[in-house]
Copies of this chain bind each other. A is one copy, B any other.
């Protein structure tokens, strides 16, 4: 079974939801046969790369919250993260474009290092003091820690077209699948789970998707194939 998770590095509920999903997955009897794929979704897709601002002032400016409301929201997220064992800095984080991080995650996927890089990006954005937005070398360093070649990662970041189509294709696909927020979980392209649900909901979704997989629809009859009894052209 394959689980695709649309998410953004700048999305706190994605960070929390991923931990809740992983708790369910760890207890799922068929966990060894579940493949997890990250898909790109930007919450703030038009944002310029050099447009960086503190999270609290982004919240008050973009969504018209008071500073107290914004801080209360961050405190709630910090508590929810803590409940999942995740570190979370409720004050002093930055907000900015995540496009380059998604491009880097597609490169990492090709190199078999996507899981590692995604975890490091979340951790760096939500829990570490140094910003992930103001310096490409910060991302190069995280790519290296994820096991990627740092020279190749620097090359991806320096070329704004590299993996850009892959990011946009993921985003188009999210829209086609009906996702208008993240995290958004898709199991074998059959079941959808929206949001940072409790682990119990993810457990139910995994069980349901595993147990109730509809049979494949055959396209045309059989053709030349090989099986335990040899290679033959079937009689149709």
Q: Which residues of A contact B (CB under 8 A)?
A: 2, 8, 11-14, 16-17, 32-33, 43, 59, 62-63, 73, 77, 80, 109-112, 165, 169, 173, 177-178, 180-184, 186, 188-198, 201, 204-205, 208, 213-231, 234
Assess the A205–B219 pair: CB atoms within 8 A: yes
Assess the B224–A13 pair: CB atoms within 8 A: yes
Among candidates B32, B165, B188, residue contacting A32 with C-beta atoms closer than 8 Å = B165
Among candidates B12, B109, B190, B192, residue contacting A189 with C-beta atoms closer than 8 Å = B190
Assess the A193–B219 pair: CB atoms within 8 A: yes
Distance to closest chain B CB from A88 (angstroms): 13
Contacts of A59 in B (CB 8 A): 230
Distance to closest chain B CB from A209 (angstroms): 8
Contacts of A190 in B (CB 8 A): 189-190, 214, 216-217
Oligomeric state, in copies = 2
Assess the A169–B32 pair: CB atoms within 8 A: yes
Which 10 pairs of residues, A with B, have the shortest CB-CB distance?
A195-B223, A181-B227, A192-B216, A195-B225, A181-B225, A205-B219, A110-B112, A11-B226, A197-B223, A196-B224
Assess the B192–A63 pair: CB atoms within 8 A: no
Distance to closest chain B CB from A193 (angstroms): 5
Assess the B12–A215 pair: CB atoms within 8 A: no
* Given A112-B112, A182-B225, A204-B219: 12 more A-B contacts, CB < 8 Å: A11-B226, A13-B226, A17-B225, A109-B112, A182-B227, A184-B225, A189-B216, A190-B190, A191-B218, A192-B217, A192-B219, A194-B218
